Chain A
Amino acid sequence: MTTMIAALERLRPVRRTRTTNARRRESLTALGMATPAVVLLVVFLVVPVTLAFALAFTDARLVSPTPARFVGLRNFTLLFEDPVFYKSLRNTAYFAAVVVPLQAGLALVLALLVNAKVRGVNFFRTVYFLPVVTSMVVVSLLWTFLYRQDGLVNHVISALTLGHVDGPDWLGDPSTAMPAIILMSVWQGVGFHMIIWLAGLQTIPAELYEAADLDGATRWHRFRHVTWPGLRATRTFVLVTITIAAFSLFTQIRVMTQGGPLDSTTTVVHQAVHTGYDQQQTAYAAAISLIFFVLVLSVSLVQRFLTREKD
């Protein structure tokens, strides 16, 4: 016993210094752990993004015998005179405006369905999630065939209407191309957000539902007053991620329509890639990217403001 006390007393002065020591050590550890991620982020994100912003004010080209020169706002003046750019903006907004509510809503419905405690629910969870783990390029190629004039979609339509309706050439008609891509994109992405909603649903304590049942709440009331408020954090996350994903629509367009027909499916990101690589206009593409960045940032900030904690 005495030896223990003696030992403790001997430790005491050491312990005092230990707090500062430990803190220093802790921050060293933190620094050590953060360094790899920070370095990678700086090298592969911050530097390229800064470079891209700088390039937007030059005449940089993909293939060029001369180094890039500063040209001020020339790329932006050209951009604001470019009719395709306005179509890209309009199509991107259209896509986002439809996809965000549709995909989020459908995902929530699916999540509520597969949250039911019935046998075989895992099967449905897997089925709904399958498109998400399939490559978008593969999905787009397959749907390109489905959407053909003589494709499966039109065969089904024809069979269901007993041959009275001949479906359009979905991707070849300016009025149906974008809706067709929206439908496919929602089908592909809905599983992912279903899982997020599902995770949110399972954080809601079961006691709340029991209490609601005791109070004689209807199914709708249970959803309105227990489930919906319980999903507040999830809601914000789903909203922001779908919005950003919708704005960056590219792969489907590149594979399925290349922006056509008649620019009905060109999007901001597709235009940036097309001008930057296919047309070698690096600086012009950088200007488009800069505007895209500002656009996404401001929409995200507005969403963040609208969904903030109000207390």
Chain B
Amino acid sequence: MAEKLLEIKNLKTSFRIKDDYFAAVDDVSLNVNKNEVLAIVGESGCGKSALAFSIMGLHTRAKMEGDILYKGENIVGISPSKLNKLRGKHMGMIFQDPLTALNPLMIIGDQIGEALLLHNKEMSKTQRKEKVIDLLNKVGIPRPEYVYEQFPHELSGGMRQRVVIATAIANEPELLIADEPTTALDVTIQSQILDLIKDLKDDMNSGIVLITHDLGVVAEMADRVAVMYAGEIVEIAEVTELFEEPLHPYTRSLFNSVPNASEEQDRLHVIQGIVPSLQNLPRTGCRFAPRIPWIDESAHEAHPELHEVKPGHFVRCTCYKHFRFPEEVGKEEEHHGVS
């Protein structure tokens, strides 16, 4: 039985716009186990990052409801000092943009050293330096003694991202949250960084939440995948299951809109409309319905829930049963016409 590391129960994170609160993460329940990579996919504006920031307690002004249990202990609403003891030591975060995540006025050695200093006061200066150089080695930075003295602007994007990762894993956290860790990087560097994250998982038995919109990265990395749309999880399944049999219309639309390097397609699928903004989000019924208007209203549930269609495979709303792409509908009709 997999050991639960993080348990999120009915989490609702709302932001205040004018005088009202709008939920960016709306009733999300998730588990992350030890030694597991859980990928969260969706377009921007779907609440992926808001969820990650909620777990790390980085929303200072948001209203948070529900529970986030880290090893059984609820971390929603605990005091900042308690949270600081967890963050960095037990939970690490890799941010998307390495240039803004690093302090431009601090040398690399001190930035990583700071993470160590905060959680391990007994460590001597020389020990700390040794450990930092060790970390730089671990993330594959060449000439670590030299890089130790450098400033962020002197490093390339890939190197900076490695520094961010080194900082996140400095205290060997059991839970690592990676928010689009490779989006800004070239493919060869991306594949190195992903290997690095995988090695960390194997070495430290950590649970990893990987947030990305790159389905290739998901296929390479994830054990389980949660698809988010408009603040809700619309589908969650094991990675092979999801890639072989994506069910929710949103998941299927996402898969179809990516240019696939191994297949020839003339036209890519386009999802109609845009991700609704927080204020305009439909709060009742199937939230994806406005973007698949050709599907009859009766196909949707009034209050869509996650249904377990196979062990471990959950889908929200019954509309997946009736969902066809317009192209498919056309073809089927043609087919019927001929026969």
Q: Do A and B come from one complex?
A: no
